A = this chain, B = another copy of it.
């Protein structure tokens, strides 16, 4: 069932951190690693620091865009220590482990995102997430090394999951995937432009605010069908 939990590293600068992440994951029984536009990969330093977790590096999902790394995921958590102007629901690691366990038991596939080392997740990257996950830390020195953050989260998730790693999911998820959500947001944006509610020349934060709203709901498939039906009906009227 570990294939239902994916670690996603975005635009990683230091290949050593990729290797150390693979080691940390394997130590905790995780297997699925995706890399979005890493600066260097494959790289000798990644291999050196993985210390025997080559199987994880060999099976990396290497993609150019974040959307492709989470297209099949039903629940997306963004790791971050920074405060945001548009906060999304916040979970500490122990809470996130319980939410993730519940989701996986219900058949969901879960992604945990880690931003670039110096900057963390951008607001755009965080806008794809259902939850903001943070590691409680020293307020005067909050920023963990990337692989150390993966280690803490993988440890806590693995403690919470226990034997569920050994089981197969018994049900299909009722929740939509990241790809479903991206298609929905495209449809929504197009509709709002047609309505002239959204101004292409001055979009402000409207789409990001709508993402925050709809991501918080964790839409089910039948709900998505209804929303898409509404958008189609509005589009038809606008023509």
Contact = CB atoms under 8 A, between A and B. Distances in A.
A208 B159 CA distance: 33
A143 B27 contact: yes
A137 B138 CA distance: 26
A136 B159 contact: yes
Contact of A148 (B29, B141, B151): B151
Given A141-B52, A142-B27, A20 B148 contact: yes
A143 B151 CA distance: 12
Contacts of A57: none
A155 B151 CA distance: 10
A136 B148 contact: no
Contacts of A147: 145, 148
Interface residues on A, range: 20 to 34
A60 interface: no
A27 B136 CA distance: 9
Nearest to A141: B26
A136 B136 CA distance: 21
A27 B151 contact: no
A120 to B, nearest CB: 14
A214 B138 CA distance: 37
A135 interface: yes
A135 B148 contact: no
Given A29-B138, A159-B94, A148 B53 contact: no
Given A29-B138, A138-B26, A138-B27, A151 B144 contact: yes
A99 interface: no
Interface of A: 20, 23-24, 26-29, 51-53, 93-94, 135-138, 141-145, 147-148, 151-152, 155, 158-159
